[in-house]
Amino acid sequence: MSIPLLEALTEYYDLVESAAIDPTIDVPSELDFIPRPGDDLESMIWVLTYAILLRHQEGLQGLKKAQYKVKVVDAFYGSLSYSGLAEKREVMVSRGTNSLAKEPEKWFPDPAQSKWFRRAMTLVAGQTRASTHGDIKPITFDAFDALCDEFITDA
C-alpha cells in the first residue's frame, strides 16, 4: 500500500475508535481516499522491496538469517498497524534518499539491489514529499518501467 493510503486508513480507524468511545462522533461509511496518479506504482515498489528482502533473507543461514528477519524484514513489514507501516516506510524513504545513510546497504547487501532501492525511494519521495515549490512528482509508468528495466532481469 502507498504511504498516502496507509495514512488515510490510519485516520479512518482512529476516527472509528474515537466514535466507539464518543457516539456523537460521525464516522463516514466509506474511507475518504482518492488514489493519486502513481499510488499503484508506489504500492508495486513496496511489493518488490519486500520480495527483495525476503529473497536475501532466504539466502542467509542460521543466526544471520534470524537476525535479518527480526531487524529488517519484521521491523519494516511485520505485523504492524497502518500507522506503523506508514512510519516505517517513511524511514525507508528517508534513509534511501540520504546518500550518507548506511542502512540501505545493510538492508540490501547486493550493490545492484541497494542501488535499485535508493532509486525506488527517490521515486516514492518525489510523490509523497512536496518540493520547495510545493509540487509533487507522481510516479509515472515510464519511470517505474525504467527502474525495473535497469535492475530486474529475466535471469
| Cα–Cα dist 37/143, whole Å | 13
In-domain check, residue 48: yes
Q: What is the 3-state secondary structure (H, E, C) of 68-128?
A: HHHHHHHHHHCCCCHHHHHHHHHHHHHHHHCCCCCHHHHHCCCHHHHHHHHHHHHHHHHHH
pLDDT in tens, 32-49: 788 887 889 999 999 999
Q: Looking at the predicted structure, is the pLDDT value of residue 129 above 70?
A: yes
Domain count, the chain: 1
pLDDT in tens, 66-95: 999 999 999 999 877 888 898 999 999 999
In-domain check, residue 11: no
Mean pLDDT along residues 112-133: 88
Q: What is the 3-state secondary structure (H, E, C) of 27-47?
A: CCCCCCCCCCCCHHHHHHHHH
In-domain check, residue 19: no
Give the domain extent around 59. Answer: 38-151
